[in-house]
């Protein structure tokens, strides 16, 4: 594997690039945003002008795009990966949190065109992934996973194989549901403590030492205590996209998700107040804006 491709160089894409570079891989990366391409070029990455340029140089490509639609377009669209893979097969590993049903349909559809598809959504913030603490949730053929193992070892040393394509995203959505509601509970606790006149920084230390401690407090607690949401590890709008997928999957499965529904309304409140690009710890602001009647 002479070079690894990365398509999408936002928070997660940059974290994956850092892991790959640290493991000694040459990286060829593309993003539709020219400024992002310029930023990763400073990391010693070859910036490519198109998806086709990446696919032409790399046997394995890591997708770190935003939506399911973008995954489909990058692989199947004009100038996409499948056009190159017809003559030279490619492994595509998708780290994006996507619609599991559409990924399950995508994998067999592109296999005859030379694309061996592996879904690898990663549990963890971009900072956790960059530090090697992300957990890969893998759906797809085990043989393809083994072929991709050098790259997976670099990006997510801890990982689980969960069966067919679709199961990785289903697992990621369920994990993110618990994670997001944990953040919301912490935000409500912080808003409550603040309203009672407590110092939030001091309260955080007490909470971390108490029975309510969770990993979320370690990762997001200081951001909430200081109301500092500019050092982004996971955006509000990305979290909203994931929770809308959860509600859609819940409807299809016949399972109501009452807490997730409330959380979506609060994330939408953040977006309305211009906080879409803030870290998702900004859910605190949606809670603080609510007043008792």
Q: Write out pLDDT tens, residues 170-225.
A: 999 999 999 999 999 999 999 999 999 999 999 999 999 999 999 999 999 999 99
Return d(Cα 188, Cα 290) in angstroms, integer: 10
237, 244, 242: which is closest to 277 by C-alpha?
Answer: 237
pLDDT of residue 26: 96
Tokens, residue 110: 């592109």
Confidence category of residue 87, pLDDT binned at 50, 70, 90? confident
Question: 243 by DSSP, 3-state: which?
Answer: helix
- Are the C-beta atoms of 54 and 7 separated by less than 8 Å? yes
Fold of 169-288: 1.10.1040
Q: Which residues pair with 93 in a beta bridge?
A: 62, 118
Q: What is the pTM of this model?
A: 0.93
8-state DSSP, 29: E
Burial string for 129-161 (b: 16+ CB within 10 Å, else e) reads bbebbbbbbbbbbeebbebbeebbebbbeebeb
Which residues have CB under 8 Å from 202's CB, separation 6+? none
Give the CA-trace dihedral at 70, 104, 233, 240, to 10 degrees: 80
Confidence category of residue 291, pLDDT binned at 50, 70, 90? confident
**Residue ranges per structural domain of the chain:** 4-164, 169-288
Helices (H), the chain: 11-22, 34-41, 51-57, 68-76, 81-85, 100-110, 126-130, 142-147, 149-155, 167-195, 200-208, 215-226, 236-253, 258-272, 283-288
pLDDT of residue 1: 57
Instruction: Give the Cβ contact number of residue 201 at 10 Å.
Output: 12
Which CATH number applies to 4-164? Answer: 3.40.50.720
């Amino acid at each position: 594997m002479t070079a690894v491709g990365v398509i999408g160089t936002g928070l997660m894409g940059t974290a994956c690039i850092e892991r790959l570079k640290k493991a000694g891989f040459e990286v060829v990366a593309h993003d539709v945003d020219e400024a992002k391409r310029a930023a990763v070029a400073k990391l010693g990455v070859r910036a490519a002008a198109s998806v086709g340029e990446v696919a032409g140089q790399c046997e394995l490509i890591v997708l770190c795009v935003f939506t399911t639609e973008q995954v489909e377009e990058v692989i199947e669209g004009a100038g996409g990966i499948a056009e190159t893979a017809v003559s030279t097969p490619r492994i595509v590993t998708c780290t994006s949190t996507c619609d599991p049903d559409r990924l399950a349909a995508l994998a067999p559809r592109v296999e005859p065109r030379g694309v061996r598809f592996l879904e690898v959504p990663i549990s963890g913030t971009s900072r956790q992934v960059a530090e090697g603490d992300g957990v890969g949730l893998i759906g797809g053929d085990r043989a393809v996973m083994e072929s991709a193992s050098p790259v997976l070892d670099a990006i997510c040393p801890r990982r689980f194989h969960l069966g067919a394509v679709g199961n990785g995203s289903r697992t990621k959505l369920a994990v993110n549901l618990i994670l997001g509601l944990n953040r919301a509970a912490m935000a409500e606790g912080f808003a409550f403590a603040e309203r009672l006149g407590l110092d939030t920084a001091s309260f955080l230390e007490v909470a971390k030492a108490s029975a309510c401690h969770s990993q979320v407090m370690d990762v997001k607690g200081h951001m909430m205590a200081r109301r500092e949401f500019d050092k982004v590890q996971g955006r509000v709008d990305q979290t909203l996209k994931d929770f809308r997928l959860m509600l859609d999957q819940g409807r299809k499965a016949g399972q109501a998700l009452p807490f997730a529904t409330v959380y979506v309304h609060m994330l939408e409140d953040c977006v309305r107040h211009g906080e879409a690009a803030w870290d998702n710890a900004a859910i605190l602001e949606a809670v603080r804006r609510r007043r008792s009647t």
